[in-house]
Chains A and B, each alone.
Chain A
Amino acid sequence: MAKHEIKDLVEWDKRIREKVAEFGLDCFPQEFEICDHSQMLGYMAYSGMPSHYPHWSYGKSYEKLKTLYDHGVSGLPYEMVINSNPAIAYLMRDNTLLLQILTIAHVYGHNDFFKNNFTYRTTRPELTIETFKAHALRVRRYIEDPSIGLEKVEHVLDAAHALQWQCRRNLAIRKIGPAEQIERAVEAARPREDPFKKIHARPEYKEPDLRRVPLEPDEDVLLFIRDHNPYLAEWEKDLLTIVDEEAKYFLPMMETKIMNEGWASYWHHRILESLELDQGLHLEFIIRHNQVVRPIPGQINPYHLGFKIWQDIYRRWTNPTPEEVKRDGPPNKSGTEKIFEVREVERDASFIRRYLTEELMREMDLFEYEQRGDEYVVSKVSDEEGWRKVKETLIKNVGANSIPVIKVEDADFGQNRTLYLKHYHDGRDLHLEYGEKTMSYLQRLWGREVVLETTLDGKRSLLCSNDRGFSVRTLK
């Protein structure tokens, strides 16, 4: 190591952990591993996991990262931390001492967030490493099995990866099982209690169609296929399970990118400010910190946006301006209480909706753009008239909101075992080229014709993929 030794880091870590405890952050035990840049690239390609099942897409991602790194287009992150108990983080060997200190503080922020934010409740962090390792072992076993082999495993994994994110978004909401679904359908079909039924005509009783599969639209596309395609072999079902489990593990990170990075940046900032660094280190800290949380013109830097909102919440609950008191009333709890509450109960979409104020949006000069011809043009800016629209668009693009909502509606469409899905259109059309390819993957897994109902240019349309190929039909 260049200028600092492990014992320096241990020393600094001790001081940082004192601060962590003092500020009331609540962390998993922490482990740090020192790695060099090529190891870091390796970890990045596999989302930080020490073991992961093989697939060519990770090779592709490695090559891409390496090309970008070698050509100096993008640097490497100073740190990488995974949501597990104990939390594992990687520190780059070539970082300066200050960067290591900043990173360690940053990592504790993430660690606290993983442990306390509600979206991570379903990720079972104490089993993370073992789960991924078990997945890797199972997939490797299928690859080595002479009756299966790499080609077939890849065939299924390619298709499963394409549909990986077509799953339930809010994992905190319990999924309703088939028995309960039947109950609900029967309940819904029962005529409502009518106090004036004596004078009203008797409502016609419509029998609920309980043979329909699924009874209620199902968002977990991979799991639905696993459970309802009788021709899948056990190992194929297992692959679908593995891919689905990984998606659900990573989903909370996607859903809280802005909060999580903002939270970690907010705390490394507060911790380092309280450490009484000497002047040289402090100067470097200011430079590095501003690099991390700088705004990137034309884009949204999650570090910047998150950091700004957290700071703003703390300020509004600690030291609100008279106008804010007039508008929102005096704060009912301290700034610290408030931010700890928010970090527990929000996700990016709700975080932005509730805590990104008009003033902050104007200060950050947020805007909305749309494509006109082959250019992106600003369509709304955060002025009095436009800020709500800008905020709406921003929320539409964070976390899982950037993935189309597609649900399985009918597994036996036209009594033909055709899989009928519906895209819940929210003003944004599907990308057709990508749609076509993904439909063919869907067909591959389902083994029969698949149909997707969507809206294209304002018209209800059906995308069909079957043995004759892909077609788009517009419905009247």
Chain B
Amino acid sequence: MDTIFREYRPSDAERSDRSAGDRLRHRQKVRESIRDNIADIIAEESIIGKDRDRVIKVPLRGIKEYRFVFGDNAGGAGQGEGDTQEGQVVGKAGQQPGKGDDMAGDRPGVDYYETEVTLEELIEIMFEDLELPNLERRALREVLSERSSKRKGYRHVGIRVRLDKRRTAKQRVMRMLAAGRGPRQMAEAAALEGNVAEERRFPFHKDDLRYKHIEIDTREESNAVVICIMDTSGSMDTMKKYLARSFFFLLYQFVSTRYRNVEIVFIAHHTEAREVTEEEFFHKGESGGTFISSGYQKALEIIAERYHPSLWNVYAFHCSDGDNFESDNPAALKAAEELSNLCNLFGYGEIKPLGSRYYESSMLNVFRRIQNPNFHTVLIERKEDIWPSFKAFLAKERAQQD
């Protein structure tokens, strides 16, 4: 029987993309896996005020294909380059020097341990997880950049789109006249000498070009600062961090939609307060007592130094587990009042995973005495609370404006 050769068939109809369905399903599984672990991921990632296109590596669980395989004490065989000695190191664990072909039934091997997602996708998943209503989601996602600009004079250099054709043409005419090559001058010269001008062309020169100049207009009243204060004393576990971070994130996004220039300040406190970076903010955990007033004092200091309320809109929010030293309560109350006088909006969020509030002290009762309309307290017990409490917090802002 003769061997058959089948010709390459380039047409799409004959070679459907057979793995498309399985690839789609795989990607869905990846997304599900991210969603299942969103609390862990957000708690560990710096997302506030970061570029949306940034790519994040996300560890994955659940899409590995498990089988019974041998563990660490299995060993293997390999081939050397001719002079292998006993005791020689041939590889690092996890990389498998003796890995053969990728036939099923092999060792655990390198599997997809992590995947890459953009911050944008991650935030999208977080919004889904927090069950944000769709309309609000859009408002928060699209940071409006209505940065205004105005024309200011003309320049000899610039980019092509800003070329002012009218002025450029005028310049050429002026130069033409100055050179004695204007139409009337040419006619006179022709009459004088009795012959026709030999050269009628007069091209543009680069000195003729005129560009519109545009300056970016910064208006001082569009400055805002978000002050995030967090109690790092107790055990801020993953869930608490996730809750706090998503709340701060929403606040930042919200403020960014309304102001052009938004700055952000992180203050971590236990008995003393320090200004820190976002990473430190969420990763520092210190044992010891808590003086809430220390955090507020630090915020007041920073406002006085850098963000004067006449130039800046100040939004402050404080997350804590509510465990304050009894003796600090009057000081904290006083500082909170002072802070709420300076801020557009000042909030206190108490994060208490469900059930724990019955046996732990709470600051909510203490702060109830503050009468300022721009002060608001929220209690967050689980992630479903984030959005309602965030809305309640913002309702204060709306009420103020009305």
A interface list, Cβ under 8 A from B: 1, 6, 9-10, 13, 17, 29-36, 39, 42, 45-46, 54-60, 62-64, 86, 93, 150, 154, 161-166, 250, 253-254, 257, 295-302, 304-305, 364-371, 373-381, 386, 390, 393-394, 397, 400, 402-404, 406, 423, 427-432, 434-435, 437-438, 441
Contacts and interface: CB of A to CB of B under 8 A. Distances in A.
A441 B18 CA distance: 28
A33 B78 CA distance: 35
B81 interface: yes
Given A162-B66, A302-B101, A428-B70, A297 B22 contact: no
B19 A300 contact: no
7 contacts: A30-B4, A32-B4, A32-B6, A365-B83, A368-B76, A370-B75, A428-B74
B8 A298 contact: no
Given A297-B79, A300-B79, A402-B70, A369 B90 contact: yes
B77 A300 contact: yes
- A-B CB proximity, top 6 nearest: A59-B22, A59-B26, A437-B66, A59-B23, A365-B80, A394-B77
B108 to A, nearest CB: 6
Contact of B26 (A10, A56, A364, A427): A56
A257 B103 contact: yes
B97 A376 contact: yes
B3 A32 contact: yes
> Among the interface residues A166, A370, A378, A404, which one has the most CB atoms of the partner chain B within 10 A?
A378
Contacts of B67: 161-165, 403, 434, 438
B26 to A, nearest CB: 4
B98 A298 contact: yes
A173 B69 CA distance: 24
Contacts of A164: 67, 104
B85 A438 contact: no
A371 B3 contact: no
Describe A's contact surface by its main secondary structure.
Answer: mixed
Given A30-B3, A33-B6, A42-B18, A254 B104 contact: yes
Contact of B22 (A54, A298, A390, A393): A54
A93 B8 contact: yes
Contact of B78 (A63, A253, A299): A299
B75 A299 contact: no
Contacts of A9: 5
B26 A29 contact: no
Contacts of B80: 297-298, 365-367, 378, 381
B70 A17 contact: no
Contacts of A377: 87-90
B201 interface: no
A253 B103 CA distance: 9
Nearest to A43: B18
B92 interface: yes
Contacts of A370: 73, 75
B203 interface: no
B79 A257 contact: no
Contact of A10 (B5, B66, B79, B92): B5
Nearest to A440: B66
Contacts of A390: 77
A435 B77 CA distance: 24
Given A298-B91, A369-B78, A428-B71, A31 B6 contact: yes
Interface in B76-122: 76-94, 97-101, 103-108, 112
B199 interface: no
A437 B66 CA distance: 6
A438 B7 contact: no
Contacts of A162: 65-67
Describe B's contact surface by its main secondary structure.
Answer: loop
B21 interface: yes
Contacts of B354: none
Contacts of B104: 164-165, 250, 254
A428 B75 CA distance: 8
B25 interface: yes
B1 interface: yes
Contact of B90 (A45, A161, A163, A376): A376
A379 B66 contact: no
B70 A371 contact: no
A59 to B, nearest CB: 3
B85 A381 contact: yes
Nearest to A60: B26
Given A45-B19, A365-B84, A428-B73, 7 more contacts: A10-B5, A60-B22, A298-B97, A300-B77, A365-B82, A370-B75, A438-B66
Contacts of A42: 17-19
B68 A438 contact: yes
Interface string B13-30: 001011101111111110
A57 B112 CA distance: 12
B370 interface: no
A367 B71 contact: no
A271 B86 CA distance: 40
B136 interface: no
A378 to B, nearest CB: 4
A60 B63 contact: yes
Contact of A378 (B10, B21, B87): B87
B72 interface: yes
A371 B26 CA distance: 33
Contacts of B107: 402
> Among the interface residues B29, B68, B71, B91, which one has the most CB atoms of the partner chain A within 10 A?
B68
Nearest to B115: A63
Contacts of A434: 66-69, 108
Contacts of A364: 79
B115 to A, nearest CB: 10
Contacts of B8: 1, 34-36, 93
A374 B80 CA distance: 20
A299 B1 CA distance: 41
> Among the interface residues B26, B77, B106, which one has the most CB atoms of the partner chain A within 10 A?
B77
A141 B101 CA distance: 33
A366 B70 CA distance: 22
A253 B80 CA distance: 26
A299 B92 contact: no
B105 A400 contact: yes
Given A17-B3, A299-B98, A429 B66 contact: no
A257 B87 contact: no
A51 B92 CA distance: 39
A431 B76 contact: no
A366 B29 CA distance: 41
Contacts of B88: 377-378
A164 B73 CA distance: 24
B84 A367 contact: yes
A304 B79 contact: yes
B106 to A, nearest CB: 6
> Among the interface residues B7, B69, B87, B88, which one has the most CB atoms of the partner chain A within 10 A?
B69
A367 B78 CA distance: 5
Contacts of B19: 42, 45-46, 58-59, 62
A58 B105 contact: no
Contacts of A55: 22
Given A299-B97, A397-B76, A29 B66 contact: no
A462 to B, nearest CB: 15
